[in-house]
Chain A
Amino acid sequence: MTELRRILLVEDDPRDVELTLAALAENHLANEVVVVRDGQEALDYLRRQGVFKMRAEGNPAVVLLDLKLPKVDGQEVLAQIKGDAQLQVIPVVMLTSSRQERDLVASYRTGVNAYVVKPIDFSEFQRSVKELGLFWAVINESPLGTVPPSN
């Protein structure tokens, strides 16, 4: 059985965090989810710096990245990830409530792996999360080292 890898969720809104976690739980995805609350924390986590200096090595299986974030926003985080030789292989899924095309276009230009408009309908959202989670966190083999669950 494939070891479950961590999912990095970058989301500032606690309710969205809770809903996302609930959706993951509803879909019986047992991956450990690391939640960070802004773009800077996300980069710190990925680069093992700041408060995450001491964390175990290894990239997450997937980054679920909100577009609108305090401090460093989602676009910038994406650009940093894709511009970093160590990080660019990590799949990034943009989670956002915007349907506006420019967001879509801008995101793809910086190499986002998937783009999901968070639907208001929770069950739809659940379905999206399920598909994303299964695809990126379970089925897809990451070419680089994986992080085993901490517990």
Chain B
Amino acid sequence: MDKVNILMVDDQPGKLLSYQSILEGLGENLLLANSGREALQCLLKDDVAVILLDVVMPEMDGFELATLIREHPRLEHTPIIFLTAYSTSDLDRLKGYELGAVDYVFAPVVPAILLSKVSVFVELHRKRQELRELNCTLEQRVTERTAELELALEALERDRADLYAMTEKLSLKMAELRQTQGWRNAVIGAALDAIVTIDHLGKIVEFNPAAERIFGFTHDQAYGQPMAEMIIPPALREQHSRGLAHYLATGEAPILGQRLELPVLRADGTQFSAELSVVRLGPTEPPLFTGFVRDITERKRAEAEIRQLNADLERRIQERTAELEAANRELEAFSYSVSHDLRAPLRHVSGFAELLQKRSAGTLDETCGKYLAAILQGVGEAGELIDHLLEFSRLSSTGLHAVDVSMQQVVAEVQSELASETPQRVIHWKIADLPQVLGDRTLLRLVLRNLLENAVKYTQRRDDAEIEIASRPRDDGGVDFSVRDNGAGFDMRYVDKLFGVFQRLHRHDEFEGIGIGLANVRRIVQRHGGRTWAEGEVDRGATFYFSLPRVPARQESTGVIE
């Protein structure tokens, strides 16, 4: 237990000493003051349990000091025991009570009385102090508890805010869910396909308007009914229930997510072709299955129609092909017939006219001789026409024997052939490097023979005849060949007629020819997959072009193109 302070105030040190000796036994702190001033200083510094105050002192007597003490709020209730040598008087007592004094001890002091009175105040002080401490503790506990409560309150506030936020979210979710549900219903309602959902027992739990339309049952008629009995044809029901049971037992269902084509039933018992796909609806247990069913009767019919049309088309193509083949055979027979039957009488005319010419030598007049010569010339030309016509028709019917052809070599051959046939001509030949191509050598030679022969023919009136043969690679991998001359040329207005059969742009007495060469050129080039064209200007020469498709880098084997 802490010691308490006991202040003793007396101007006489001897008295102080005697009090001190009386109170020492209490074991408290004894503070001594020789004057009111010292006492006040001491009181301001220390907390004092009781003050022993000598009433009679110089400067400031005990009552004055007590008055000052009482004026200090902290000391207002501090007990004071006046020590006075005076005999009890009403005045003193009154003064003391008025001043709140607590007790008096008269001198000479009886040690036991002083001791007991001080003890009471010390005890009282202690009790007060304990009470104060207790109060203090209580106060602190209240503060702590308040703080705790405040914390708890804050936590509660936070929880409440969280709860509020959660509620907000939840209501949003609910709204979304309601919206999603709304969408789902709208989608299902507007779907063109029948949407039918069944539970694990096979009972219908959803039957959209399209399903009503397609199957002929109302939603209310269908709801809760076993689907198999409503829309699956009897022959397939067993399979359906087996499949469902198998899925429920094993989780395996080969049809889930597949596109199937099956016959299904309408309310009126009629059957139609449907395309359907079945999915498991979400992860619910027990599972729900949704089937999307489309009436494909119309599509089936269209498919059948297309098949029929295709078959018809195929048949018509075959018929047409057969017709064309027959026509082709007829044409060949015709050519054959022409070659024999038309040539024979011409030969006879020619033969007998010639015999006549021999036998009548000198007997016919000049006019008759001219007639005879005209007959022979006409017959000769007719024969030539027939020969070329036959050649032209043969070009269309024979297969191409495709090999690597050195165009350089072919040009060289044709050029030397023409040079030997026209020894009197002086022609300046300019032949560029020409590539190899894949084609029928005989036919390509015929192309060049025709083009070079033309060039030679139409430059016959030039003293400085020049023929240039060149080639140029095409973007598509093919090659363009060109044969240019500085001869008679032609009018571009008639360019379309150049490659026609028996089309000639020059009068016979200008240049000989029957007008079949370029038609043959075009036909041969076309059969090789290429094309022909020409540029020219009257008296400024002509350039004939032909293209051949893609040149093989190296083609060892030979083959037949057809």
Contact A15 B350 (CB under 8 A): no
Interface centre among B346, B351, B354, by most chain A C-beta atoms within 10 angstroms, is B351
Number of interface residues of A (CB under 8 A): 20
Which B residues lie within 8 Å of A125 (CB)? 347, 351
Across the interface, do A99 and B348 meet the contact criterion of CB distance under 8 Å?
Answer: no
Instruction: Determine if B355 and A97 form an interchain contact, defined as CB atoms under 8 angstroms apart.
Output: no
**Which chain B residues numbered 237 to 290 have a C-beta less than 8 Å away from chain A?**
none
The residues in A between 46 and 105 inclusive whose CB is less than 8 angstroms from any CB of B are 67-68, 96-101
Asked if B339 and A121 sit within 8 Å, CB to CB, the answer is no
A22 CA to B352 CA, complexed, in Å? 10
In the complex, per-residue mask of A114-131: 1 if CB is within 8 Å of any chain B CB, else 0: 000011111101000000
Measured between beta carbons, the chain B residues less than 8 angstroms from A16 are: 344, 347-348
Residue of A nearest to B342 (CB): A97
Is B478 an interface residue, CB under 8 A from the partner? Answer: no
Q: Are B390 and A19 in contact (CB under 8 A)?
A: no
Q: How many A-B residue contacts, CB cutoff 8 Å?
A: 57
Q: Is the CB of A120 within 8 A of B352?
A: no
CA–CA, A15 to B349, complex, Å? 10
- Bound-state Cα–Cα, A29 to B391, Å: 35
B residues within 8 A CB of A99? 339, 387, 390
**A101, B339: Cα distance in complex, Å:** 12
B485 shortest CB reach to chain A, Å? 30
Question: Is A96 touching B354 in the complex (CB atoms < 8 A)?
Answer: no
A13 CB within 8 Å of chain B: yes
Per the bound structure, the CA–CA distance linking A123 and B350 in Å amounts to: 9
Q: Which of A19, A68, A98 contacts B347 (CB 8 A)?
A: A19
B interface majority secondary structure = helix
- Contacting residues, chain A, for B354 (C-beta < 8 A): 122-123
B residues within 8 A CB of A123?
A: 354
B183 to chain A, nearest CB (A): 79
By a CB distance below 8 angstroms, the chain A residues around B344 are: 13, 16, 97
Which one, B347, B380, B394, contacts A97 given CB within 8 A? B347
Q: Are A96 and B348 in contact (CB under 8 A)?
A: no
Known: A15-B348, A125-B347, A125-B351. A120 touches B336 (CB 8 A): no
Query: For A19, what are the chain B residues with a Cβ–Cβ distance below 8 Å?
Result: 347-348, 351-352, 355
User: Contact: B383 with A100, CB < 8 Å?
Assistant: no
* Assembly CA distance A122 to B336 (angstroms): 22
What are 24 residue pairs bridging A and B, where the CB atoms are less than 8 Å apart in the complex? Answer: A13-B348, A15-B348, A16-B348, A19-B347, A19-B351, A19-B352, A22-B351, A97-B340, A97-B344, A97-B347, A98-B336, A100-B335, A100-B339, A101-B394, A118-B347, A119-B347, A120-B343, A120-B346, A120-B347, A120-B380, A121-B350, A121-B383, A123-B354, A125-B347
Given known contacts A16-B348, A19-B347, what 12 new A-B pairs fall within 8 Å (CB)? A13-B348, A15-B351, A97-B339, A97-B340, A97-B343, A97-B344, A98-B340, A99-B387, A100-B336, A120-B379, A122-B351, A125-B351
Q: Please list the residues of chain B having a beta carbon within 8 angstroms of any beta carbon in chain A.
A: 335-336, 339-340, 343-344, 346-348, 350-355, 379-380, 383, 387, 390, 394
